[in-house]
Copies of this chain bind each other. A is one copy, B any other.
Amino acid sequence: MIKVVLLGSGNVAVQLAKAFHKNENVEVLQVYYHTKLAKYFKNKNIECTQEIYLLKDAHVYILCLSDDVISTFSKKIDLPTKLVVHTSGSVAMNDLECNARKGVFYPLQTISKDKKMSFKKVPLCLEWEHEKDKIILEKLANSITKNVYYLDSSQRKQIHTAAVFINNFTNEIYQIAHDICKENDIPFELLHPLMLETTKKAIKTEPKLIQTGPAKRNDKTTIKKHLNLLNEKQQKVYKVLTNSIRERHANK
């Protein structure tokens, strides 16, 4: 049985607790919270505290805090024989400034509190300071997902940047398409199948191998036609991505 204490009461803490709860080999002993305790923890009668000095004896302490407070908060932790991990993509392991063994337990997914989510396919990126902590972190990760990876702090920073492209930028592209539809009385749902198909295809191969369209063909007539239909802001995005595709495929 792996005993866990969660520090934080936001989306990540709640979703991790739910995932651990399904596994009989992991017990969430306690939740530390700062100002507000999530309903989930109240409903499940999980012990909670607002005092660092009242933290219970556990195997792993998981900081589920926003990136900018991890370092400062970690200074308060004085558990020299214990393993303390954070769950952030963009914070280095050594930004933990606690007196403890350090590690990282980073689930690569967009996590919302309310949405029912399954961790089964969520990649968990692990890092550890001491080799002996590898086994317990692996066990903990395997208790909720089959996709466990080992990334050092530098790789994790890179994947976090790549995730901004995948998540935030793709979403903005979708919104621009949504705007175009709205301005022209076209239901956005018309594009839903294409959204899914594009993503599924890119998952099966290297995306550039299945690229099509006017930018790849360097079809200036169509590119010009499209630019004429767009507003200035949309044109900026269109141009920079068209150039990116054009340059990539010009050398082929």
A158: B residues at CB distance < 8 A = 180-181, 183-184, 186, 229
A129 on interface, CB distance cutoff 8 Å: no
Q: Is the interface of A mostly helix, strand, loop or mixed?
A: helix
Among B67, B171, B233, B243, the residue within 8 A (CB) of A202 is B171
Residues A244 and B186 in contact, CB atoms below 8 Å apart:
no
Interface residues on A, range: 35 or more
Contact in complex: B178, A206 (CB < 8 Å): yes
State the oligomeric state as a number of copies. 2
Interface residues of A in 200-217 (CB under 8 A from B): 200-203, 206-208, 210-216
In this assembly, does A79 line the interface, its C-beta being within 8 Å of a C-beta of chain B? no
**Contact across chains for A110 and B194 when beta carbons are under 8 A apart:** yes
A229 touching B163, Cβ below 8 Å: no
A212-B110 contact given A184-B155, A196-B199, A244-B233, CB 8 Å threshold: yes
Query: Can you name the residue of chain B whose Cβ is closest to the Cβ of A168?
Result: B213
Q: Is the CB of A202 within 8 A of B174?
A: yes
Of all A-B residue pairs in the complex, the 4 with the closest CB atoms, nearest first, are A168-B213, A174-B207, A162-B177, A175-B207
* Interface of A toward B, CB cutoff 8 Å: 67, 90, 108-110, 121-123, 125, 147, 149, 151, 154-155, 157-159, 161-178, 180-181, 183-188, 190-203, 206-208, 210-216, 222, 225-226, 229-230, 233, 236-238, 240-241, 243-245, 247-248
A and B contact pairs by CB, cutoff 8 A, 17 listed: A109-B194, A110-B194, A149-B186, A158-B180, A159-B181, A161-B229, A166-B173, A168-B216, A169-B237, A170-B170, A170-B174, A171-B210, A171-B211, A172-B207, A175-B207, A195-B199, A199-B199
